[in-house]
Amino acid sequence: MSNLKHVAIVGATGAVGVEMLRCLEQRAFPVGELTLLASARSAGKTMKFKGQDITIKELTADAFTGVDIALFSAGGGISKEFAPHATAAGAIVVDNSSAFRMDDQVPLVVPEINAGDLKNLPKNIVANPNCTTAITLMALYPLHQAFGVKRVIAASYQAVSGTGAQAIEELEAQTREWARSERKWDDVQVANEFVKVYPHQIAFNALPHVDSFLDDGYTKEEMKMENEGRKIMHHPDFRASVTCVRVPVFRAHSVAVNAEFERPISLEAAREVLSAAPGLDVIDDPSLKQYPLALNVAGKDNCAVGRLRIDCALDNGLAFWVAGDQLLKGAALNAVQIAECL
């Protein structure tokens, strides 16, 4: 490939696709030619890139001619159908869906952790991790390197934008409907016509239900941290018990983590390790009410970790709170970083 790359974005009009486009521009990725691909209903519309209008094209099997890197963010079904067409045309695919994450021939990459896995691409496909997993590992992996993580118990607090644009609109519509009705705090239920994306109202609520349930009672989303964490960290014995919760936050996920390590850990040593970790800010001064907030990490490239404390229930344990923008480090930014490594 030449220094300037022909880049394609599949799912360009979606929330992650929009962020991919912004990341390419803000990080001065060497784009020589840009192809924006979406469904037929979006074809013919335009999106801005470096001040120019780029016309969106319909995603078809023959849309990847001359493409060097194809960034996919249009769902697993689309990835499974069209990624082979992209690689057959000579492109390297960076896929944001779950379609290829557990494929032994496809590296699952967080560049700060395992960029070396990009040296071997038998299928010319790289997988982007689940957003909650990526954000959690930004803090957990440096601790693992220093102390050897055995297991974690975690609870996620996930923003509605992780579901997509319709979920964002639903939270906004439910909130506006309640405000319009001028009801008080103890009467916040809205009419069923405003509940479409999620099985229950999301405004003023917390849903312990992200993704579909498995036979053992966990959801698919909850198992991703263990399965993907093992692959990314090259740690086959890693164990994670996770409860994923959707909360009425527009943007940025937060995760409460209780981690048990093989070796003794102290607060001083943990802070030193985390302060040196790339892509991670330590915000940890409870006396000044300083800790990571979804509001503050939204739109930011770095994740943030805080509420550090020695776990009182686990041997060699550390409890912490980590937050990050799931549209960026959890998706678009991570994909563009992978492209930069490539």
Catalytic residues: 131, 253
Residue 217 annotated as binding? no
Between strands 253-261 and 317-324, the pairing is antiparallel
- The answer to whether the CB of 274 falls within 8 A of the CB of 259 is no
Cα–Cα dist 339/27, whole Å: 11
Q: List 70's β-bridge partners, or say none.
A: 8, 93
The DSSP annotation for 159-206 comes to -GGGT-HHHHHHHHHHHHHHHHHT--TT-----GGG--SSSS--TT--
Handedness of CA 330, 245, 243, 147 (dihedral sign): positive
For residue 144, report the phi and psi dihedrals to the nearest 5 degrees.
-60, -45
Question: 13 a known binding residue?
Answer: yes
Task: Determine if residue 101 is labeled as part of a ligand binding site.
Answer: yes
14 among annotated binding-site residues: yes
Any known ligand binding at 42?
Answer: yes
SS3 at position 306: strand
Please state, in angstroms and rounded to a whole number, the distance separating the CA atoms of residues 305 and 255: 10
Does 229 belong to an annotated binding site? no
Could you tell me if 82 and 22 are in contact, meaning their C-beta atoms sit under 8 angstroms apart? no
Please answer whether residues 173 and 262 qualify as being in contact, where contact means their C-beta atoms are separated by less than 8 angstroms.
no
Annotated binding residue 162: yes
Q: Are 305 and 321 in contact (CB under 8 A)?
A: yes
Q: Is 251 annotated as a binding residue?
A: no
Binding site feature residues: 13-16, 41-42, 101, 158, 161-162, 246, 326
Binding site feature residues for substrate: 158, 246
Binding site feature residues for phosphate: 101
